[in-house]
Chain A
């Protein structure tokens, strides 16, 4: 008898609708706790609003409102000024799962599954029994359409309870969706407010208003009028594509030959490259795609791996860009007054499983942040904040496996989340973000992505370290400077007066105390210009002559403003000055101006020296090897070693003998 278990199971197997499935497994969508459900509800609606505005190239104006109905129940309403939804699509957009415009598009957007808003409405309906209300008006329409909607979960189909046309005169176009759901409103690290705050950081072009259940209003104003560029749709890129996807594409193609299929259905495959792939796969160019077997598909995949293919173009991705990341961070983090914003890093696009992606990283340091706590990690996927599942996310893994001790943060054993007064922001932008689940809370550990994040973190970390080094050097040298500039001259004046003799020449004393060339810089922003002053004090016993180098933002230098003409300008940004001879204890000043830059774009001057022994210099680093300047091997000025030994103290420092005399 064939009454096996399989047969028994087969009897019970019947098609279950997607909605029914999600109803039973709501945690997959992220609706697994009252607090989280409320955040998810807001998030799905806000993501859609931002997506729609971006697609229509409109500056988003979003109003989020949460009202408390009773102990458990809340009403959430999200309104945007986007392009609106044509009235015939509204029932499916809000009442059918897996209905969306992005499901099949290879392009960067927040939504990618066609589940978000209908799942939210379904969750609200299950927990409160109430219908959702959606209203939308497209440009030029006379009135908005408004519907009350519930979802038939068995059929995965919308059921309209009411359908109306409403003038909505104050709005030219836009969408408002409102729904009831059970939840819990909180504030803190994982909250609606935090979600919106972080959204504002990475969407500085959006204006977001939030009215909380107590009626408090929070305004995240627009920090820039600059829209993120519209990301273009592209075809799948062959790098790392999976066999299943390839076979699906083979099945779906309209092309009649393999070479045309490769050329037209993929990104970055020219005719030449297509032919190369055919050759590498040992498949005739004229093969009909429909004739490809599993075996020959595998062959084709291998062939694709052998040929070098150009990286996908950038325009399918919409990076935030270094400038706007800094703007967004500054705008929202104003009250913690950070001391340093590392120049954000925006990496070139790379590909994972056929999908282009790129990584952006920003680090904020200091100010009113606690220094004995783990750093704060802000994770973003396609400009959407990720608040949950931090531990499972590739971003966290990349941060944990970076040795932050090198970059000036504390980290026990050189791995794990570092400690210190810092915020690390990581944005992963991709045509398809490989989330660990449908709830879109954490990004899966794809090696190519982790590697790119690590590289960006290191680059940003290096800027942080440079800043910290500079800061430390400043405090160390400031005290010496105080001695030679203020205290010693006063001492000379005073004692001269007491003994009734002329003020002595202090050169010998000053150079003995400092015995370095001391370089200091200051930047003032005034009338849309950065005025930079570099002061070079020769506190060595002999005259000095060397070169000073700096890297300035490309095209920023106003050549006419330079007090000393640069002796060389490379790549429009690497500047070299050959200083004249500077006598012992003399000061030489270079000043110049930068034009056409945002105030934020320049705050400290990176200074390098060559032609002098770097140990004799304070306030500038030796010229790095990758500067590749000709003839900069420094000529060592003979070190005044003998002199140094002579004034070595025999006695310990009296004032640092370190004992509390008043303990009796």
Chain B
């Protein structure tokens, strides 16, 4: 489908939601809309695609409750907004959409969370992407450094070839919010694998130590919980260039979730896991075992940390022997650690010892 066709299709599907609400009202029923429940309990492993998707549990958004009624009302306003953007060939950020709703009177969103959630809901029922709705995130993706050649179509429609090591500065190539094929073509690479790094500090350390060149690696900075486009880009590198992906984060419950969203799919966007998740991505650390094995400096787990770890024990995505062992160990230690704690042994320790150890385990170390 071309872009235009996708937009028209999106409108058609959104229209049918409004139509269904109208018909329910006309029949004297209480309007409702049925959607898959977006809960931890409704995340199921899909053996065909190797990612976690929404299961078969359904919930009803009904006009019986104020919250449901408001969301149903807003759906029609959203349809109008999207229709208008398509007609005038404009797009807006999710934040702008939230502000546009100021003019909707009663139907306006009370927080951007509400508008983001509704956008995702609409993606789920229409099986479209928010880009099809002319909505884009305001956050840009993260950055990458490494010997890879891509061709980007810029905002004026010109095609630009970029080598993500030689043509960029030290902060790397910025991943745009749209990384689909019509925007970015992935050409070729000399790299052997991809390292996705959580923190900017560690990303810069690896760049400064020349890790990408020494090991023929592509470095991706995740910037905390990675944006959709970052995850989508990693997935494409894995799909199209057959590059193994390793994930390198802090050692705490929140970082475990970062890995889960890269490898398994996030609960919030499980309807897109097939596009966004990279099932073969490997977690290398910091693990709870690393804390013990490398005798790393640590911080005490906070109450929030402990609660998050316990929630992960009940999360189907973490239901593996590896994660059970690591989470239990972290709870037992009562401590967490950061990537940069490796500097305890000097600035080169991470590139001279820690990562080579890990790559060796995975059979990825350069001979």
Residue ranges of A at the interface with B (Cβ–Cβ < 8 Å) = 479, 482-483, 486-488, 490-492, 494-496, 498-499, 501, 504-509, 512-513, 647, 649-657, 659, 661-664
Partner of B25, one of A491, A653, A655: A491
CB nearest to A492 among chain B residues: B25
Known: A487-B106, A494-B77, A508-B28. A652 touches B60 (CB 8 A): yes
The 7 closest A-B pairs by CB, nearest first: A508-B28, A654-B59, A495-B22, A651-B60, A504-B26, A494-B76, A654-B61
A488 touches B34 (CB 8 A): no
Of chain B, the residue at the smallest CB distance from A652 is: B59
Could you pull out 29 A-B pairs where Cβ atoms are within 8 angstroms?
A483-B66, A487-B66, A487-B73, A488-B69, A490-B106, A491-B21, A494-B73, A495-B19, A498-B19, A498-B76, A499-B22, A504-B22, A508-B27, A509-B63, A512-B30, A647-B30, A649-B32, A652-B37, A652-B59, A652-B60, A653-B60, A654-B37, A654-B59, A655-B71, A657-B37, A657-B38, A659-B38, A661-B267, A663-B257
- Knowing A647-B29, A654-B60, A661-B267 touch, does A491 contact B76 (C-beta < 8 A)? yes
The answer to whether A657 and B59 touch across the interface, beta carbons within 8 angstroms, is yes
Contact A490 B107 (CB under 8 A): yes
Kindly state whether residue B58 has any CB partner on chain A within 8 Å. Answer: yes
B223 close to chain A: CB less than 8 A: no
Residues in A neighbouring B32, C-beta threshold 8 A: 649
* Cβ-defined contact, A649 with B18, below 8 A: no
User: Shortest beta-carbon distance, B145 to chain A, in Å?
Assistant: 26
B113 is an interface residue with CB less than 8 A from chain A? yes
| Complex: A661 Cα to B43 Cα, angstroms | 13
Chain A residue at minimal CB-CB distance from B60: A651
Contacts of B68 in A (CB 8 A): 653-655
Residue numbers in A under 8 Å from B71 (CB-CB): 655
Residues of A within 8 A of B311 (CB): 663
Q: How far is the CB of A16 from chain B (nearest CB, A)?
A: 67
Do B106 and A509 have beta carbons less than 8 Å apart? no
Inter-chain CA distance A488–B24, complex, in Å, is 12
Contact between chains at A487 and B69 (CB < 8 Å): yes
Nearest CB in chain A: distance from B265 CB, A: 11
**Whole-angstrom distance from the CB of B116 to the nearest CB of chain A?**
9
Contact, CB under 8 Å: B60 / A498: no
**Is the Cβ of B267 less than 8 Å from the Cβ of A664?**
yes
In this complex, the member of A495, A512, A649, A664 whose beta carbon has the largest number of chain B beta carbons within 10 angstroms is A495
Contact status of A512 and B76, CB under 8 A, knowing A651-B58, A661-B38, A664-B225: no
- Say whether B261 contacts A488, CB under 8 Å: no
Partner of A496 from B22, B30, B65 at Cβ < 8 Å: B22
Chain A's nearest CB lies how many Å from the CB of B349? 30
Residue of B nearest to A661 (CB): B268
Q: Is the CB of B67 within 8 A of A655?
A: yes
Interface: B35 (CB within 8 A)? yes
Listed in ascending order, the chain B residues whose CB lies under 8 Å from chain A are 15, 18-19, 21-22, 24-35, 37-40, 58-73, 76-77, 79-80, 105-107, 113, 117, 225, 257-258, 260-261, 266-268, 308, 311
Q: What is the CB-to-nearest-CB distance from B130 to chain A, in angstroms, rounded to a whole number?
A: 15
How far is A483 from B64 in the complex, measured between Cα atoms in Å?
8
B31 / chain A contacts, CB cutoff of 8 Å: 491, 509
Task: Determine whether the beta carbon of B37 is less than 8 Å from that of A495.
Answer: no
Residue among B28, B60, B63, B113 making CB contact with A487, cutoff 8 Å = B63
- Taking the closest CB of chain B, its distance from the CB of A499, in whole angstroms, is 5
Q: Is the CB of A482 within 8 A of B79?
A: no
Nearest-CB residue, chain B, relative to A511 = B28
Taking chain B's interface residues, is the majority helix, strand, or loop, or is none over half, making it mixed?
helix
The reply to whether B261 and A664 contact each other, CB–CB distance below 8 Å, is yes
Distance A482 CA – B117 CA, assembled complex (angstroms): 22
Contact of B62 among A482, A491, A653, A657 (CB under 8 A): A653
Choose one: A487, A492, A495, A496; the contact of B70 (CB below 8 Å). Answer: A487
Contact partners of B258 in chain A: CB under 8 A: 664
Kindly list 10 other residue pairs between chains A and B, CB separation below 8 angstroms, not including A483-B63, A657-B37: A491-B21, A491-B31, A491-B63, A494-B77, A494-B80, A498-B80, A509-B30, A647-B29, A652-B59, A662-B113
Q: How far is the CA of A649 from the CA of B30 in the complex (A)?
A: 11
**What chain A residues lie within 8 Å of B35 (beta carbons)?**
654
With A482-B66, A659-B40, A664-B225 as contacts: A651 and B29 at CB distance below 8 Å: no
Q: Bound state CA distance, A111 and B35, in angstroms?
A: 76
Asked if B38 and A508 sit within 8 Å, CB to CB, the answer is no
Tell me the complex Cα distance, A652–B37, Å. 9
In the bound complex, how far is the Cα of B40 from the Cα of A513, in angstroms? 30
Q: In the complex, are the beta carbons of A512 and B69 less than 8 A apart?
A: no
Given A491-B25, A499-B18, A508-B29: A479 in contact with B59 (beta carbons within 8 A): no
Minimum distance in angstroms from B255 CB to a CB of chain A: 11
Q: How far is the CA of A657 from the CA of B68 in the complex (A)?
A: 12
Is the Cβ of B63 less than 8 Å from the Cβ of A513? yes
Distance of A479 Cα from B65 Cα, bound (Å): 8
Residues in A neighbouring B60, C-beta threshold 8 A: 649-654
Q: How many Å from the CB of B65 to the closest CB on chain A?
A: 7
Tell which of B19, B30, B34 touches A651, judged by Cβ atoms closer than 8 Å: B34
Contact across chains for A483 and B69 when beta carbons are under 8 A apart? yes
* Contact partners of A659 in chain B: CB under 8 A: 38-40, 267
Please report the C-alpha to C-alpha distance between residue A509 and residue B33 in the assembled complex, in whole angstroms: 15
Query: Shortest Cβ distance from A258 into chain B, in angstroms?
Result: 78
- CB contacts (< 8 Å) of B117 on chain A: these are 661
Measured between C-beta atoms, what is the minimum distance from A136 to chain B in Å?
Answer: 69
- A residues within 8 A CB of B22? 492, 495-496, 498-499, 501, 504
Contact in complex: A649, B62 (CB < 8 Å): yes
Chain B residue nearest in CB terms to A655 = B67
Q: Which residues of B contact A495 (CB under 8 A)?
A: 18-19, 21-22, 25, 76
Q: A487: which B residues are within 8 A, CB to CB?
A: 63, 66, 69-70, 73, 106
- Report how far A495 CA is from B80 CA in the complex, Å: 10
Q: Which residues of A contact B70 (CB under 8 A)?
A: 487
Tell me the nearest residue of chain A to B14, going by C-beta. A498
Query: Chain A contacts of B65 at CB under 8 A?
Result: 479, 483, 653, 655-656
* A residues less than 8 Å from B38 (CB atoms): 657, 659, 661
B63→A488 contact, CB < 8 A? yes
A490-B107, A504-B26 known; A653+B59 contact, CB < 8 A: yes
Looking at the assembled complex, report how far the CB atom of A656 sits from the nearest CB atom of chain B, in whole angstroms.
7
- B37: nearest residue on chain A (CB-CB)? A657
**Residues of B contacting A649 with CB < 8 Å?**
32, 60, 62
In the bound complex, how far is the Cα of B69 from the Cα of A495, in angstroms?
13
- What are the residues of chain B within 8 A of A652 when measuring CB–CB? 37, 59-60
Cα–Cα, bound, A61→B38 (Å): 70
Q: What CA separation (Å) do A508 and B30 show in the bound complex?
A: 8
Smallest CB separation, B355 vs chain A (Å): 26
Expressed in whole angstroms, the minimum distance between the Cβ of B142 and any Cβ of chain A is: 16
Knowing A490-B73, A491-B76, say if A509 contacts B267 (CB, 8 Å). Answer: no
Residues of B within 8 A of A499 (CB): 18-19, 22
Closest to B40 in A: A659
With contacts A490-B106, A662-B268 taken as known, whether A498 is within 8 angstroms of B64 at the C-beta atoms is no
Question: Chain B contacts of A488 at CB under 8 A?
Answer: 25, 63, 69
Most buried by B among A479, A482, A494, A505: A494
Using known A-B contacts A492-B25, A501-B22, determine if residue A655 contacts B61 with beta carbons closer than 8 Å: yes
Q: Nearest Cβ in chain A — how far from B135, in angstroms? A: 18
**Bound complex: CA of A483 vs CA of B70, how far in Å?**
8
Smallest Cβ distance from B51 to chain A, in angstroms? 15
A520: min CB distance to chain B, Å: 17
Complex Cα gap A543–B70 (Å): 29
Give A270 to B347 CA distance when docked, in angstroms: 108
Q: Given A483-B63, A508-B29, A509-B25: A491 and B69 within 8 A (CB)?
A: yes
Roughly how many angstroms separate A512 CA and B27 CA in the complex, as a whole number? Answer: 12
Residues in A neighbouring B67, C-beta threshold 8 A:
655-656
- Whole-angstrom distance between the Cβ of A358 and the nearest chain B Cβ: 49
Name the CB-closest residue of B to A659: B39
Partner of B18, one of A498, A647, A655, A657: A498
Can you name the residue of chain A whose Cβ is closest to the Cβ of B24? A509
Q: State the CA gap A625–B68 with chains docked (Å).
A: 40
